Amino acid sequence: MKLSIVIPVYNERKTIGELLRRVQAVRLKLQKEIIVVDDCSRDGTREWLRRFRHPQVRTFFHDVNQGKGAALRTGFARATGDIILVQDADLEYDPKEYPTLLQPILDGRADVVYGSRFQGGTHRVLFFWHYVGNKMLTTFCNMMCNLNLTDMETCYKVFKKDILNAIALKSKRFGFEPEVTIKLARLRCRIYEVPISYSGRDYSEGKKIGWKDGVAAVLHILRYSLFG
């Protein structure tokens, strides 16, 4: 089997090199490909990626900034693996946890696996209101699609390729998270959660998501649960 690791990137010059080193260092029994999609970065990330060469890494570039969801769609369309894993480029999530994330699918138990930051893994202590916002969005999404997830907004999502192919994704920005969750629930996929660690960063370190994205997530949950 083959694993495709899809990495959307926007203005992550300080972290992209180390992130790719960590992803490449993970030892797996699966064949591995790494797909990087630069969403029109303006901090030197784009230029660095144009110079970077590695046989496992394929890089694609957006000519205009479109958002995380659009970058993921570009990566998904070019993935050739049997399993697809989403990886952010900001070092908040640890690629060493790939084996844990993959195991429920490899065992034949799951179609999709979410890595939960709220199931007891080691995590950096940061913002109370971010935690509250995440829990509220997850709870609201659970109510609308009848799931019992603990972390809908997690980056670490792993899909069997045929499951992802059955979903028509539309979101361009962070609406990807509720959209894909609701559409997976509608397909009655076997979704598992596993605990992961989380090394969150603050805004001085480059964190991008804010309260406006939280409001947008509520609207996305309503849109995709009520209108598809």
The model's pLDDT over 177-201, given as tens digits with 9 standing for 90+, comes to 999 999 999 999 999 999 999 987 5
Predicted local confidence at residue 31, as pLDDT:
96
Domain boundaries of the chain, sorted by first residue = 2-227
Question: pLDDT tens across 70-114, in order?
Answer: 999 999 999 999 999 999 999 999 999 999 999 999 999 999 999
Tell me how far the alpha carbon of residue 193 is from its chain's centroid: 14
Does residue 136 register a pLDDT over 90? yes
Please say whether the beta carbons of 136 and 151 come within 8 A: no
Higher pLDDT, 15 or 173: 15
pLDDT above 70 covers a percentage of the chain that reads 93
Question: pLDDT tens across 59-71, in order?
Answer: 999 999 999 999 9
What's the mean pLDDT when you consider all of the chain?
91
Tell me how far the alpha carbon of residue 120 is from its chain's centroid: 20
pLDDT above 90 covers a percentage of the chain that reads 77
**Band (202; pLDDT cuts 50, 70, 90):** low
**Band (214; pLDDT cuts 50, 70, 90):** confident
Please say whether the beta carbons of 198 and 123 come within 8 A: yes
Query: DSSP letters of 86-127?
Result: E--SSSSS-GGGHHHHHHHHHTTS-SEEEEETTSS--B----
Name the H helices within the chain. 16-25, 45-51, 68-78, 98-106, 128-145, 161-165, 176-186, 211-227
Does residue 174 register a pLDDT over 60? yes
C-alpha 79/C-alpha 71 separation (Å) is 12
Does residue 161 register a pLDDT over 80? yes
Coil/strand/helix, residue 50: helix
CA separation (Å) from 73 to 93, 104, 109, 219? 20, 24, 26, 20
Predicted local confidence at residue 203, as pLDDT:
54
Please say whether the beta carbons of 170 and 179 come within 8 A: yes
165 contact partners, CB below 8 Å, separation of at least 6: none
Q: pTM here?
A: 0.91
| CATH T-level fold of 2-227 | Spore Coat Polysaccharide Biosynthesis Protein SpsA; Chain A (3.90.550)
Higher pLDDT, 228 or 184: 184
C-alpha triplet 195, 196, 202: angle, nearest 5°: 135
